[in-house]
Structure 1
Amino acid sequence: MSMSLRPVMEQWNTHTSCFIEHDQIIALFQELSARVDTLCSEVDYGERTVIWLQDGQKLLDFIAHDPTFNAASLQQSLEDAGVEVNGLDLAALVNNMRNMAATWRSSIGSAGDLRFYVDAISL
């Protein structure tokens, strides 16, 4: 078995409250990555989950400018995938994400990827 070691640079940026549950957030990002045709993965690290997206620019462009980035469309897609989510809570998150997209651009990595941490908290 081989092992490797590499340094990781973490950059903390402005956060948004999520309003929806952990698994719903993961499903939301999977849906968003499918809509913009980029890879998405998540890894749990105890009290947080890291969501990795291959093309952060494409995702943030979609969030900031695409008219299909709205609560009704996303709620329907999530429900089609078997994920129930409160529409008002999702609408609040979508609004916050749209408002934060410009700020989050500074978190795009040198390879173009984007990572989000989802902290484990009780709603």
Structure 2
Amino acid sequence: MDGITSNLPDTALVTAELAWIEVGRVSDIPPAGARVVQSPHGDIAIFRTAEDEVFAIRNRCPHLGGPLSEGIVHGARVTCPLHNWVIDLASGGATGPDTGCTGTFPVQVEDGSIRLGLRLPVSAV
């Protein structure tokens, strides 16, 4: 990235079109819980399931924009606290009779650290 000014933290790892940014540790998130990370893409909810799987989705229900990080996590799904829409954490899609989708983000877990993959602007690649 010679000659490009970036506001990425020093701990960011840039690969292809993604910047991998360390956002915390798995142990920072309670089992079946979530934490919110602010990003240029909006608020992102980082979820930890009871089975210690980690997912990242936009912290906004596709129905009426409810804060998904405040919902109940069950398996690899979260129920929106506003109107009980169930969102699949892997796909971001609403389940059951509901339709809609919220954005998902790639995550990596290494030695207990969580890295969030964020797309870089084309000009930064």
Whether the TM-score (by the shorter chain) exceeds 0.5 is no
Q: Which has the higher contact order (CA 8 A, sep 6+)?
A: 1
Query: Which of the two has greater strand per residue?
Result: 2
Report the TM-score, using the length of structure 2 for normalisation. Answer: 0.30
Higher share of residues assigned helix: 1
